[in-house]
């Protein structure tokens, strides 16, 4: 491994940086975040999407699976604002419902990735030595795995087994979340580890140790809060990453079953009707794009806001 310059270890936000006349690090970050137009745009768009997905199905009550061949593939109209699909089902209703699943997959997969990453990174960075070597070798190994092929393979091979165990919908949800999360924790683990390596040598940690703090206490209350800001950024970006991955799986026909219309699944169904019903692809595709774009803007805004070197 190379020893790169310290500023690349990404743990710069820790040292008490209180700008003249400003409040805490959090307040300062919020101040900077608010002034970032793109981040604000992202927040607003994401809020609108999340709210409409949460509340929408209660207001817009057209059933998602009502088949009506007389209305097959109709373009947007007053009755069906986003048009209908090849089976005459209402696309807006399906998107509102599917959005819940797409976003839930993103959030839960992020949680799996972050928790795994923090756990492995913290242990490796805190204890060092042989444990660190083993864990980091393992991380390197996982980074070298061809991720997309493996995802496709695992889901194809195990989906029937898990469906039989916990049921169709929940089964595939759990499988997708675990696998996307389980193949995305490596970057977080590295960030956390390099943070721990720097912070654990600082005086306040030595002081806490001298006062008799247990390893758990040192890890969770003293060191972790000081290395968390790059992890926050990584967490945000991994939500959008997971949403794209889930859509990709669905796009290969390996995601959720057809009666659960996630956005990627709708694209998969719509790709055969590009000639006479392009709206079947355009609306769900735009939904994925806008969600991912706004999350990426928020992640970028967070990165700038939490980085004290940029002021």
Give the interface with another protein as residue ranges (CB under 8 A).
1-4, 38, 133, 136-137, 140-141, 144-150, 152-154, 156-158, 160-161, 240, 244, 247-248, 251-252, 264, 267, 270-271, 274-275, 278, 281-282, 285, 288-289, 292-293, 296-297, 300
Q: Considering only CA atoms, which of 276, 1, 255, 281 is closest in space to residue 151?
A: 255
| Residue 274 Cβ vs another protein, minimum distance, rounded to whole Å | 6
Nearer to another protein, 160 or 259 (CB): 160
Our CB check for another protein shows the closer of 39 and 53 to be 39
Q: Decide: 82 and 283 in contact? Cβ < 8 Å.
A: yes
CB of 220 to another protein, least distance (A): 25
* Least distance in angstroms from the C-beta of 148 to another protein: 5
Question: If you write DSSP's letter for every residue of 78-100 in order, what string do you get?
Answer: SSSTT-B-TT--BHHHHHHHHHH
Q: What is the DSSP letter of 255?
A: S
Q: How far is the CB of 257 from another protein (least distance, A)?
A: 16
Task: Find residue 84's DSSP bridge partners.
Answer: 90
3-class DSSP state for residue 264?
Answer: helix
Closer to another protein by CB, 236 or 240: give it: 240
Nearer to another protein, 69 or 309 (CB): 309
Query: In angstroms, what is the minimal distance from the CB of 297 to another protein?
Result: 7
| N-to-C CA span, the chain | 32
For 130-142, give the DSSP string: HHHHHHHHHHHHH
Torsion (CA) 239, 240, 243, 249 in degrees, nearest 10 = -110
Nearer to another protein, 57 or 285 (CB): 285
């Amino acid at each position: 491994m190379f020893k790169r310059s310290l500023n690349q270890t990404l743990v710069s936000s820790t040292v008490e940086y209180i700008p003249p006349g400003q409040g805490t690090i959090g307040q300062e970050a919020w101040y900077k975040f608010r002034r970032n137009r793109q981040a604000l745009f992202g927040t607003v768009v994401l809020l609108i999407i999340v709210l409409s997905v949460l509340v929408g199905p209660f207001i817009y009550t057209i059933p998602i699976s009502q088949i009506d061949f007389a209305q097959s593939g109709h373009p947007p109209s007053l009755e069906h604002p986003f048009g209908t699909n090849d089976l005459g089902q209402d696309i807006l209703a399906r998107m509102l419902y599917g959005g819940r699943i797409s976003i839930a997959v993103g959030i839960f997969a992020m949680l799996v990735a972050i928790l795994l990453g923090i756990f492995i990174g913290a242990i490796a960075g805190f204890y060092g030595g042989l444990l660190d070597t083993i864990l980091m070798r393992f991380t390197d190994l996982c980074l070298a795995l061809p991720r997309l092929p493996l995802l496709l393979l695992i889901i194809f091979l195990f989906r029937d087994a898990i469906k039989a165990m916990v049921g169709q919908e929940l089964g595939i949800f759990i499988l997708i979340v675990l696998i996307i999360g389980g193949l995305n924790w490596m970057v977080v683990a590295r960030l956390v580890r390099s943070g721990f390596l720097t912070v654990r040598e600082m005086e306040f940690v030595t002081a806490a140790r001298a006062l008799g703090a247990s390893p758990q206490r040192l890890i969770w209350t003293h060191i972790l809060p000081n290395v968390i800001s790059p992890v926050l950024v990584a967490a945000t970006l991994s939500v959008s990453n997971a949403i794209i991955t889930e859509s990709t799986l669905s796009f290969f026909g390996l995601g959720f079953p057809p009666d659960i219309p996630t956005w990627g699944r709708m694209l998969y169904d719509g790709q055969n009707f590009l000639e006479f019903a392009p709206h079947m692809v355009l609306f769900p595709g735009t939904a994925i794009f806008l969600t991912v774009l706004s999350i990426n803007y928020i992640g970028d805004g967070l990165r700038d806001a939490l980085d004290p070197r940029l002021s």
